[in-house]
Amino acid sequence: MEAVNTLMNALCSLLGFPSVTIQYLLSYLFVPVSLAMGVSWEESRKVGELVAVKTFFDEFIAYHQLGEMKRRGLLSNRSVSIATYALCGFSNLASLGMMVAMLAALMPHRRHVTSKLAFRSFVAGSMACFLTASVAGGSALFKVLSLFFVFLFTVLTL
């Protein structure tokens, strides 16, 4: 992650743009999700950044960053609670790769089935964490979010 950030900072400085991190760019993908979970608009990008780090890198790094944000007072207690539930789980790309490799080693003749189902399990695990965070946040959008996730999972399983 630091190598990517260093490369992006070098590229931005060459082009005359302000420094940007990969976490900052990926956070905008998860702003709608954090809003739907019940995070306030002011803190949605920070929680979105944590969810992006958890999804694309590792949940332990995201929890460390959550602790730093809490220590510095950047997030309210409510947002910390929601983020704690949203980060809970092993639905990230590294875990997905480990699961596919392990199942391919155990069942090499069923590799096509395991790789097909791996992404679906990744999405289902992420949705479970986000729905749990929605309940913890008392989000009014919980019913809409849960119906959307059920629809999305149904489409992905076709």
Q: Can you tell me the mean pLDDT for 107-115?
A: 85
pLDDT of residue 90: 82
Write a three-state SS string for 105-153: HHCHHHHHHHHHHHHHHHHHHHHHHHHHHHHHHCCCCHHHHHHHHHHHH
CA 93 to chain centre: 10
pLDDT in tens, 15-28: 777 777 888 888 88
In this prediction, residue 3 has a pLDDT band, given cuts at 50, 70 and 90, of confident
As a whole number of angstroms, the distance between CA 41 and CA 51 comes to 15
Rounded Cα–Cα distance for residues 72 and 33 (Å): 24
Predicted confidence (pLDDT) per residue in 55-72, tens digit: 988 889 999 999 999 999
Statement: residue 122 has pLDDT above 90: no
So where are the chain's domains?
Answer: 2-156
Check whether 77 has a pLDDT greater than 80.
Answer: yes
Long-range contacts of 26-30 (CB under 8 A, 24+ apart): 26/52, 26/53, 26/55, 26/56, 27/52, 30/55
8 pLDDT more than 80 = no
Question: Measured in whole angstroms, how far is the alpha carbon of residue 78 from the centre of its chain?
Answer: 18
Q: CB–CB of 80/136 below 8 Å?
A: no
pLDDT band at 45 (very low <50, low <70, confident <90, very high): very high
